[in-house]
Amino acid sequence: MPGGLCWAVLLWAVGGLTSAQPAAEEEIIQNLMLLPRKVKLTWQSPTNITDATCAISQVGNFVTEDQPRKDTNLYYCIFENHRLCKGANFTVSVTTRQRSFTKQLFFNNKGREGSAAEDFTCVVYDIKFLNCSWTVGRKAPEDVQYHLYSQASRTDEERECLQYRDNACGIHVGCHYSNLSFFKRYNYFYVNGSSKEAEIQFYDTTSTMLDQIERYNPPRNIEVNCSKSNCLIQWEKTVTTLNPQSHEVAYQLDIQKKGGDIIPQIQRDGESQGTFYHFPSYDERADYSLRIRVGNLRRPDVLWGPWSEPTKFGSGKQAGSPWLVWVPVVFGSLVFALGNLCLWKRFLGTQKFFPRIPRIKDNLNDFPFQSNQIIWEEFKQSPEQCEIESIRSVGE
């Protein structure tokens, strides 16, 4: 046989083997499909499989592997705590008695980029209510409309929101749940959109724990008992949905001194359930205002609840300023000194303008002895001894 013909036969044989490889894999791993809402990967295999593995890989995440489960002739894997809005790559590997086979499936979030709901968040409040909110996608068309679905688990049926909140354009941007009975500790949320102009991408979450998104109410029955140097602040333990343990709750106290700076204090739950706090820097003459809020420590960033109503304590009789004390004293002293100076000057002026007149000495009256005084009555004459002169008046 010529050399060229031999090479042609050899290449044909090799080509036949390589082209048969995909055909063989198609026979072992058939109907590979993904249910995005449940993150469930399914496939079928007509032959007996000795070993199988399914895996998911996403940008920025490690590869997660799982052992498939079988339902009659259907194999499936459920990736509970994974979200698909950013896309994912799935891989199925099976082994038979002859060899191993691998098949991949790529999933992309179809739709206009930037049209999905953004800034999605949920919070439990007042023990029994749940609010979820989101914003319209930056590149979503004007006629977009969003719908929210929830699942207690990946295998449960979806429930659509019944009480939407709309923005000024009539687009759903929130949902209110007044009943938490159908929610479990782990929950999943899914927001899709519709539009006549363009296909809308969806937004999904990983498992959301209710006890991590609960915003606690402020404590009640706040009491403050003070001595001259410190205060004991007490309050009632906060009631929560799932009754968290003491180390998962923190109390923050905001103590403001009138005319002074804010004095923030943080008190974590302790053996006494964290329902008291000793405030050492107390001035009984000052006026204080106290607020307390409760924080949820079950999430990386503490979720603080609202502040309580201000509680006033302290006498409010602030110590007077030293100027307020010394100014009256100095002023009074000046007035007293000026008054004395005026009196003294007045006395000197009187002596200058009205000097004392010298008086002649009376030897008789000023003499200290009175026994030698002469009685004037002894020298008077009697009427008979006096000559009487008669005066007659003669008319013309």
| Domains recognised in the chain with CATH numbers | 26-107 (2.60.40.10), 118-212 (2.60.40.10), 223-313 (2.60.40.10)
Query: Which tens digit of pLDDT belongs to each residue from 199-248?
Result: 999 999 988 888 889 999 999 899 999 888 888 999 988 877 777 776 78
Q: Distance between CA atoms of 313 and 227, rounded to whole angstroms?
A: 12
Query: What is the predicted pLDDT for the residue at 276?
Result: 87
Binned at pLDDT 50, 70 and 90, residue 328 comes out as low
Burial 194-221 (b: 16+ CB within 10 A, else e): ebeeeebbbbbbebbebbbbbbbbbbee
Write out the H or E segment, with its range, that includes residue 149. Answer: strand 145-151
Binned at pLDDT 50, 70 and 90, residue 116 comes out as very high
Query: What is the predicted pLDDT for the residue at 218?
Result: 92
Q: How far is CA 388 from the centre of its chain?
A: 131
Binned at pLDDT 50, 70 and 90, residue 332 comes out as confident
* pLDDT surpassing 90 at residue 266: no
Q: Distance between CA atoms of 210 and 215, rounded to whole angstroms?
A: 10
Between 261 and 278, the higher pLDDT residue: 278
Binned at pLDDT 50, 70 and 90, residue 271 comes out as very low
Question: Rounded to two decimals, what is the model's pTM?
Answer: 0.66
User: Could you give the C-alpha distances from 62 to 65, 82, 88, 337, in angstroms and in order?
Assistant: 10, 11, 12, 91
Write out the H or E segment, with its range, that includes residue 124. Answer: strand 118-125
**Are the C-beta atoms of residues 92 and 52 closer than 8 Å to each other?**
yes
* pLDDT surpassing 90 at residue 273: no
| DSSP 8-class letter at 22 | H
* pLDDT surpassing 70 at residue 255: yes
**Are the C-beta atoms of residues 261 and 286 closer than 8 Å to each other?**
no
Query: What is the predicted pLDDT for the residue at 242?
Result: 72
DSSP E strand stretches across 181-258: 186-194, 203-204, 208-209, 223-226, 231-234, 249-257
Query: What is the predicted pLDDT for the residue at 43?
Result: 92
> Residue 355 has which token pair?
């000097």
Please state which of the ranges 116-120, 247-251, 342-346, 362-366 shows the lowest mean pLDDT. Answer: 362-366
User: How confident is the model over 185-197, as a mean pLDDT?
Assistant: 93
Between 362 and 15, the higher pLDDT residue: 362
Query: What is the predicted pLDDT for the residue at 159?
Result: 92
Max mean pLDDT among 223-227, 295-299, 336-340 falls in 223-227
Q: Distance between CA atoms of 183 and 345, rounded to whole angstroms?
A: 97
* pLDDT surpassing 50 at residue 155: yes
User: How confident is the model over 379-385, as a mean pLDDT?
Assistant: 48
Which residues, 6 or more positions from 193, have their beta carbon under 8 angstroms from its beta carbon?
111, 115, 116, 117, 137, 140, 144, 145, 146, 147, 200, 201, 202
Q: How far is CA 184 from the centre of its chain?
A: 27
* pLDDT surpassing 70 at residue 180: yes
Binned at pLDDT 50, 70 and 90, residue 356 comes out as low
Query: What is the predicted pLDDT for the residue at 278?
Result: 87
**Are the C-beta atoms of residues 148 and 191 closer than 8 Å to each other?**
yes
| DSSP 8-class letter at 63 | -
What does pLDDT average to over the chain? 78
**Are the C-beta atoms of residues 142 and 187 closer than 8 Å to each other?**
no
Please state which of the ranges 27-36, 164-173, 290-299, 344-353 shows the lowest mean pLDDT. Answer: 344-353
Q: Distance between CA atoms of 31 and 40, rounded to whole angstroms?
A: 13
Q: What angle do CA 86, 87, 92 make, to 5 degrees?
A: 145
- Tell how strand 262-268 and strand 231-234 pair up: unpaired
User: How confident is the model over 363-381, as a mean pLDDT?
Assistant: 48
Between 252 and 14, the higher pLDDT residue: 252
User: How confident is the model over 255-267, as a mean pLDDT?
Assistant: 66
User: Could you give the C-alpha distances from 115 to 36, 109, 142, 247, 361, in angstroms and in order?
Assistant: 18, 11, 10, 41, 129
Query: Which tens digit of pLDDT belongs to each residue from 66-95?
Result: 999 988 888 999 998 888 999 999 999 998
* pLDDT surpassing 90 at residue 10: no
